[in-house]
Structure 1
Amino acid sequence: MTEAVTVVMGQIDPVVGDIDGNVHRIIKAAEQAKDQFHADIIVFPEMTLLGYPPEDLLLRNGLYPQIEQALGKLCDELNDIVCVVGYPMMDDLGERFNMAAWIHKGTIKASYIKQNLPNYSVFDEQRYFTEGHQPCVIEYKGIRFGLLICEDIWKISPCTQAKEAGAEVILNLNASPFSEEKHQDRIATLQRRVDEIKRPIIYVNQVGGQDDLVFDGGSFAISSTGEVMVQSPQFEKALTAVKLEKQVDSVEVMQGEQAQIFHGEARIYEALKLGVYDYVSKNGFPGVLLGLSGGIDSALTLAIAVDALGADKVEAVMMPFRYTADISKEDAAKQAETMQVSYHTVPIEPMYEAFEQSLAPLFAGKSEDLTEENLQARIRGTLLMALSNKNGKMVLATSNKSEVSVGYSTLYGDMVGGFSPLKDVPKTLVYRLAKYRNSLSPVIPERVITRPPSAELRPDQVDQDSLPDYDVLDEIIRLFVKQDKTPQQIIELGFDPEEVNKVIRLINVSEYKRRQSAPGIKITQRAYGRDRRYPITSRYSE
């Protein structure tokens, strides 16, 4: 005889710090799971009550009484379904813990303290939490469930502990950020775990954007033989049922929903959309605006913004100058019309001439150089920020990772903005994403993709006047930034020594710009900011 238990993966989008709102989201999801699936258990992501990552909110002593009240409300409201929820706790000695609670029939029946506290990449959990050491196994309807939190599943010890304590199924609460290959890495890791412990695992992940991070969801249930039996969708809130059957000497995961998993450029595009949507909506902006230059970066940024927010919330501004090509004006206007956004043209010639006249006595005897180019960019930045101040819309910066890496952007000019969607997107990927977006529907004019890239700040300018070809540049950046290879190691791979040394010098001297740039969506395994923390003032060399 078998006994079935229905576990629902509560893939929700909590808002950091919105404790009351998160309680409402949890209760609403639990009620829906009960009504729609007749669920016995609903499992939510790591730190659901507070949202993740809360960073130094965890140091606020006033936080923890609010968490206690929130747990009390969950106990009061959820009586006919088990709720497994993540939250922070502080004990009487002032130590803080990353917790999971098993709530049923008005009380917390069991709780678990996260054992493995990640302290790499974007994670700083050892700054805040004390690690746990004990497993947590609780029996419900004849099945013994073990609780683990996120990083615990990436190590064998907590899994072995849970198995030895009698766990027949592992429930794993996660706040695992998106990067290019992360979903495959998660599945491969869990397949190793189930091969070691011969137990099924239910992996529940957070979804949504939080500052520079995107959580892609993609929750799944994996059988004790390593097969993904149930797959939740990526990049959207979802409740997904997992049917468990108790057999004579094991628990089996029944075949269930198999949602679409995105691959390649589609996966990255969805992450960028979600990151833009949640940053704008969670911070209460009525919409966004950006400078639309007729170039590839602003064209892709516009497409992402419209797809994420809707055309009615996006405004584009063309700010031509004497060096702006007619085709740039034509292509910008065409894309704005195609995407049905509010579009304005504000020539910067009069403003530039006013600056030039005012500065003439101070510039006397000095030839034109980057100063005049940067002045154009800063005029444009000032116009965008003025419009932002007047109508409340947030400016989207349009710089890509290649430019951010080597400082090929103007501080207080084209770097202005509240958010930078392409900040972690290399230029070569910008082109691939533009082609991908046009494969869905043609919104970016074709010659924007095919013409040589140019900042159009001087006559006949192209990016490769100052930089190596982007195929070469992006690979040098990848090897130096992501893989931490030395200049000599990169040269030994066949790259030109002069180009390698130039690019690395530019990366190193541009840190001060990156520190002042808008936050942007992390999509690679080594993004600037939390992922890569280098001093501005440094004489280190290799």
Structure 2
Amino acid sequence: MKIAICQSNPIIGDIKGNKEKIINGYKKGISDGADLVVFPELFLCGYPPLDLVEKKEFREEVIKTASEIASQTNSTGLIFGSITEDYEDNIGTNVYNSALLCYNGKIQFVQSKTLIPNYDVFDEVRYFESAKEIKIHHFKGEKLGISVCEDIWNDADYWKHRRYPIDPINKQISDGATLLINISASPYAYGKRKERFQMLSILTKDEKIPLAYVCCVGAQTELIFDGGSMCFNGKGDLCSLGKAFEEDYFIYDTEINYNPIQNVEAKFEEEVLKALIMGLKDYGKKTGFNKALVGLSGGIDSALVVYIAAKAFGNENVLAVMMPSKYSSKGSIEDSEKLISNLNIKSLQIPIQSVFDNLLNELKPVFNNLPEDVTEENLQSRIRGIYLMALANKFGYLLCATGNKSELATGYATLYGDMCGALAVIGDVYKTQVYQLADYINREEEVIPIEIINKVPSAELKPNQTDQDSLPPYDLLDKILKMYLEDQKEYNEIAEEIKEPDIVKKVLRMVDMNEFKRKQAPPVLRVSTKAFGYGRRYPIVQGWRK
């Protein structure tokens, strides 16, 4: 069977635009002699549609459009993801996340998702019911086992601990399936594509059955979908691999012997940079922005963000703003100007000192001679936030927040100051990883000035300030944070491994105390298994760690 894999990028809620992509992909598949054309999970409405699913008018439009698409089919099959409804028993939501198989002018077969995920960024139990039946469908001499995303992530031969008691794929194979089709919208995290490859290779090898695994690509707010669609033969060999972080289209022919593909994932720095560039670019495109604004401090975080912005929007569409005060080092301005020249981007310099001085004078009688503290430091950051937001509003820029994951985790950031922005571009990248990315960017030539990379990190909000006045060394801090945030370890286990119990206690307390800041932060592009945002839900008011 010749299968056209349409690894495409939908826009959530753009039913008309997504329909056009399906029709165009289907026509291309026909012209290429495909027997079957396949699009990813919930492609018609975009994934994840979230509370749009609860709107009756939205569901009706999706269902009506699905029938319109089916009416344009001929004998070539078309599979795409859509919402379906079944109010037979009036229990639960009666709404389903389904794969539709269309041909000869009609929706001929529907297989709804059986395993409904309810962890990390997944909240599908809120909207969708589990499939009532798991079936196969006879089509052009094959018995198709069609499934949706999570349904294939429960293989007993791969997982030591399974999330679900049911294995839909095993049921289809037991019923005689000769070809598996899985449509997916699986959010990216570094390492997940390799895990996908290993899991699907074991499944297809053990069951001696070919598989077309069709992935979504693009970014939907903070979620990044990396593409990398995979087609396997019945020996577990990877025969075809979709491009990473871009749309792709290719034909997989089950009758052809392909050279097996072994390498599915690049090194961390290459992968994550591509993910962040696509994430920012897609966020801007889908929200109507074509140019970006970055506050450039002379530090490595803002340098990395302005580089990503230049790659996402083009250097001619990026404005870097320097906002020095009396605490800013001479090197910070010079290093920033060097970076601006290297990237060939536009820039402004707006000193904040006079505004800061006037504000202190206005507040002096109110502060009643209390000694200076973090209040005065935060005022400087908030003045910069005002300038950046004003420029973004006046000229239509997308303001990129520049905080890294280490800062967001510990609260080493100013609410309504440097946390201002439409998107936290590197909010899921630890400080130590920021240095890795900078070194990778400079692998062939110096783009980010070496002075920025070698500089001792500092907020420059008071004399001789460094980050380590408030935080442990970043290599130690990031190790603690990863164990706590991503590995779900607690104080005793972390302290036993780190051998610095007081530091561990301090760091965990900082993370917990600053949940209120993260609730008000911009969306964070997700590149790890546990990013800040709606995939991590911790209470602000809690007594677990006082």
Shorter-chain TM-score range: over 0.9
* Mapping 1:14-93, distance limit 5 Å: 14-35=10-31, 37-79=32-74, 81-92=76-87, 93=90
- Alignment CA distance shift 1:382-1:300 (3 Å): same
CA distance in 1, matches of 2:4, 2:105: 19
Q: Indicate which of 224, 227, 237 corresponds to 1:217.
A: 227
> Normalization by structure 1: what TM-score?
0.95
CA distance in 1, matches of 2:259, 2:8: 22
The equivalent residue for 2:285 is 281
Q: How far did 1:495 drift? A: 3.0
Tell me the secondary structure at the aligned position of residue 218 of structure 1. Answer: coil
The equivalent residue for 2:488 is 484
CA distance in 2, matches of 1:275, 1:253: 35
CA distance in 2, matches of 1:125, 1:512: 26
- Aligned CA RMSD, in angstroms, stands at 1.6
State whether structure 2 residue 272 is matched by structure 1 residue 272.
Answer: no
The equivalent residue for 1:158 is 168
Is the CA contact (8 Å cut-off) linking 2:524 and 2:533 kept in structure 1? no
CA distance in 1, matches of 2:75, 2:339: 53
State whether structure 2 residue 117 is matched by structure 1 residue 107.
Answer: no
Tell me the secondary structure at the aligned position of residue 442 of structure 2. Answer: helix
The equivalent residue for 2:216 is 206
Q: How far did 1:256 drift? A: 8.4
Tell me the secondary structure at the aligned position of residue 62 of structure 1. Answer: helix
CA distance in 2, matches of 1:281, 1:494: 43
CA distance in 2, matches of 1:356, 1:28: 61
Q: Which amino acid aligns with 1:101?
A: L
Is the CA contact (8 Å cut-off) linking 1:41 and 1:81 kept in structure 2? yes
Tell me the secondary structure at the aligned position of residue 77 of structure 1. Answer: coil
CA distance in 1, matches of 2:38, 2:214: 7
- Alignment CA distance shift 1:185-1:293 (3 Å): same
Q: Which amino acid aligns with 2:416?
A: Y
Deviations 1:444-483 (A, max 9, x none): 1111111111111111111111110000000111111112
**Structure 1: unaligned runs, 5 residues or longer:** 246-251
Is the CA contact (8 Å cut-off) linking 2:97 and 2:112 kept in structure 1? yes
Is the CA contact (8 Å cut-off) linking 1:240 and 1:257 kept in structure 2? no
- Alignment CA distance shift 1:163-1:253 (3 Å): farther
* Identity between Structure 1 and Structure 2 (%): 38
Q: Which runs of 4+ in 1 moved over 3 A?
A: 252-261
Is the CA contact (8 Å cut-off) linking 1:242 and 1:253 kept in structure 2? no
Q: Which amino acid aligns with 1:70?
A: T
Is the CA contact (8 Å cut-off) linking 2:215 and 2:228 kept in structure 1? yes
State whether structure 2 residue 382 is matched by structure 1 residue 378.
Answer: yes
Q: How far did 1:68 drift? A: 2.1
The equivalent residue for 2:116 is 117
Is the CA contact (8 Å cut-off) linking 2:223 and 2:526 kept in structure 1? yes
The equivalent residue for 1:249 is none
Tell me the secondary structure at the aligned position of residue 129 of structure 1. Answer: coil
Is the CA contact (8 Å cut-off) linking 2:515 and 2:540 kept in structure 1? yes
* Mapping 1:130-149, distance limit 5 Å: 130-149=129-148
CA distance in 2, matches of 1:441, 1:206: 34
What count of residue pairs does the alignment treat as equivalent?
A: 531
The equivalent residue for 2:179 is 169
The equivalent residue for 1:427 is 431
State whether structure 2 residue 319 is matched by structure 1 residue 315.
Answer: yes
Q: Which amino acid aligns with 1:381?
A: G
> Normalization by structure 2: what TM-score?
0.94
Q: How far did 1:412 drift? A: 0.3
Q: How far did 1:129 drift? A: 0.9
State whether structure 2 residue 303 is matched by structure 1 residue 303.
Answer: no
State whether structure 2 residue 253 is matched by structure 1 residue 243.
Answer: yes
Is the CA contact (8 Å cut-off) linking 1:243 and 1:256 kept in structure 2? no
Tell me the secondary structure at the aligned position of residue 170 of structure 2. Answer: helix
Structure 1 stretch displaced more, 138-147 or 11-20: 138-147
CA distance in 2, matches of 1:91, 1:138: 20
Q: How far did 1:440 drift? A: 5.0
Is the CA contact (8 Å cut-off) linking 2:137 and 2:145 kept in structure 1? yes
CA distance in 2, matches of 1:494, 1:160: 43
CA distance in 1, matches of 2:458, 2:308: 21
Q: Which amino acid aligns with 1:179?
A: A
- Alignment CA distance shift 1:76-1:526 (3 Å): same
CA distance in 2, matches of 1:42, 1:31: 9
Q: Which amino acid aligns with 1:209?
A: A
Deviations 1:65-116 (A, max 9, x none): 2112211221233325311000011223451111001111211111101111
The equivalent residue for 2:505 is 501
Q: How far did 1:258 drift? A: 8.9
CA distance in 2, matches of 1:126, 1:192: 28
Structure 1 stretch displaced more, 214-223 or 129-138: 129-138
Is the CA contact (8 Å cut-off) linking 1:399 and 1:409 kept in structure 2? yes
Q: Which amino acid aligns with 2:74?
A: N
CA distance in 2, matches of 1:316, 1:467: 28
Deviations 1:397-454 (A, max 9, x none): 0000000000000000000001011111100000101111122543211111111111
The equivalent residue for 2:409 is 405
CA distance in 2, matches of 1:340, 1:466: 35
State whether structure 2 residue 371 is matched by structure 1 residue 367.
Answer: yes
Is the CA contact (8 Å cut-off) linking 2:512 and 2:545 kept in structure 1? no
Is the CA contact (8 Å cut-off) linking 2:402 and 2:418 kept in structure 1? yes
Q: How far did 1:366 drift? A: 1.1
**Structure 2: unaligned runs, 5 residues or longer:** 156-166
CA distance in 2, matches of 1:393, 1:281: 12
